[in-house]
Amino acid sequence: MKRLFLPLLVSCVGLIGCQNSATEQAAEPGFPSGTLVDMSYAYNSDTVYWPTAPGFSKSTDFEGTTEGGYYYSAYTVSTAEHGGTHLDAPVHFSEGKHSADQIPLESLMGSAIVIDVSAQSAANRDYLITTEDITHWEATHGAIPDGSIVLFRTGFGQYWPDREAYMGTAERGPGAVALLHFPGIDPAAATLLATERNIKAVGIDTPSIDYGQSTLFETHRHLFGANIPAFENVANLDRLPETGAYVIALPMKIEGGSGGPLRMVGIVPN
């Protein structure tokens, strides 16, 4: 992750034998500056979930003026791990790999690249992102830098939260899974990223890194077998450049969890 460095002022007053000169002073990492991009959707009654998962609910414990005369509000919420903008932990499809609480923080933040396949996805709802899409990006920008977070922009974020337009069906229940139609990552492309590139995580602006018609979820299995987590239902990918941005993607820390709600932020340098 690229960092901006600010000088750490070291005072030698009153210290015996202080040897730090102006050119030898320690450096303190600074936070990357730039435009902040909210890459998470809000949780509400419209939040998109997998057809077999229960949706989001919020009930009021208290809201209003208390007997003490001050305002107070508190709510109880319920959500499946995999709904809205969320993390898929490797253990979701790979036994013994990282659960939500075990993923190193370093894997959830860093430099991001964006591979745009929106034109292909507009022409084919079932588009599979290919190894050629990855190598085409590299032909323009150079090899994917080590430690990158790789984000795929299909353009399907424009349909959120219209379930039928976004997922291919608004139906719920097990029978609706066969009706899902949205782009995803081809298993061969997942294998390339997992075995021939050194990446931290992947993300996509659809409900799944596997395309809607997948039945074997091979993309999940290839990436998660390499302990590479995924971010799904990512918002506002159209606001990130193909190179140069940073991402911080922090999930709810659910012990043993296979995923969880994700607050994801992009930083686009000015």
For 172-194, write each residue's pLDDT tens digit.
999 999 999 999 999 999 999 99
Q: What is the pTM of this model?
A: 0.88
Whether the pLDDT of residue 148 is over 50: the answer is yes
Of the pLDDT bands very low, low, confident and very high (cuts 50, 70, 90), residue 12 is: very low
pLDDT above 90: residue 5: no
pLDDT for 55-72, tens place per residue?
A: 999 999 999 999 999 999
> For a pLDDT cut of 70, what percent of the chain falls above it?
89
- Is pLDDT at 234 greater than 80 in this prediction? yes
Look at the block and give the residue holding tokens 């898929």.
Answer: 88
Q: Cα–Cα distance between 176 and 213 in angstroms, integer?
A: 11
Q: Is 188 exposed, middle or buried (0-12, 13-18, 19+ CB in 10 A)?
A: middle
Looking at residue 235, its pLDDT comes to 98
List, in order, residues 6 or more apart from 117 with CB less than 8 Å away: 127, 129, 133, 152, 153, 154, 183
Is the predicted pLDDT of residue 94 greater than 80, yes or no? yes
Q: Which long-range contacts (CB under 8 A, 24 or more apart) does 163-170 make?
A: 163/48, 166/48, 166/206, 166/207, 167/48, 167/51, 167/207, 167/212, 168/125, 168/212, 169/51
Does the pLDDT at position 21 exceed 50?
A: no
- For residue 83, the 8-state DSSP code is B
Rg of the chain taking only CA atoms, in angstroms: 22
Give me the pLDDT at residue 31, please: 72
User: What pLDDT, on the 0 to 100 scale, is given for residue 114?
Assistant: 98
Is 158 a residue whose pLDDT tops 60? yes
Please state the rounded mean pLDDT for residues 82-91: 98
Question: Taking residues 247-268, what's their average pLDDT?
Answer: 98
CATH number for the region 35-54+80-268 comes to 3.50.30.50
What percentage of the chain has pLDDT greater than the value 90?
A: 87
Looking at residue 177, what is its pLDDT?
98
pLDDT band at 29 (very low <50, low <70, confident <90, very high): low
CA–CA separation, 204 and 88 (whole Å) = 11
Residue 163 host element (H or E): helix 163-167
Whether residue 18 has pLDDT greater than 90: no
Helices 218-225 and 187-196: crossing angle in degrees, nearest 10, is 10
Model confidence at 24: pLDDT above 50 = no
What residues pair up with 177 in beta bridges, in sequence order? none
- For 111: left if phi > 0, alpha if psi spans -120 to 50, otherwise beta; the answer is beta
Name residue 116's beta-bridge partners: 153
Domain segments of the chain: what residues?
A: 35-54+80-268
